[in-house]
A and B are shown apart, each in its own frame.
Chain A
């Protein structure tokens, strides 16, 4: 990135971009996650009874937390956010909030997740019939209930959009991270509530962008 200091750079698919110093004067990012509002809207649409959602995330994601809180407020969901510093702490907090939530929003923060903890979270959530929402369709195999993921064409279009604005000299007006606009929703019907599973359909939706 330093060697590319004068070259405008657009990055994408990096969750912990702040740890790598990817935001500079000439670099901008496209969000790795689908728009959280759309994510929550899709989840809420699938499960209208969703009322309390738990979220554990590592340090340095204040904007993400804000976005999640706004999305929760928009959709009438109470959001329980806990910050963790390690996978052990993630599991520790998860065990404490699992009894108070209707769903768990798993953000892909690799710093605070490990295979063991992932497995443990998904097993415990399944035992308690607490659906886990993820941003990766592959996680459905491990026990996640709903996947709201980005669409490659949307990622590509958003990247192109940002590139064009940068080329047009509007880099200063381009936010550090541009939100995606589309989501792809997939569910693991076996882990959804029966009434929810009956109404599940693959859907896409336009989400807002920051």
Chain B
């Protein structure tokens, strides 16, 4: 399992459109991707659940990636997070 820790700097947090693109990115991989904020978690493939976590600016999230392509997947997700949030 791979784990990424990330602090959101975007003033709007994880908001609709980029969240949508993040979901699309996540769907490219077969690994299970779980997003944690505090003790709440959701599947990164699910846009509404992800938006429902209300991740705001300065919130720290943890992303756990588990599966056959976890290395490539974790790398791609981390890059995407850094560039967009």
- Co-assembled chains A and B: no
Which positions in A face B, CB cutoff 8 Å?
none
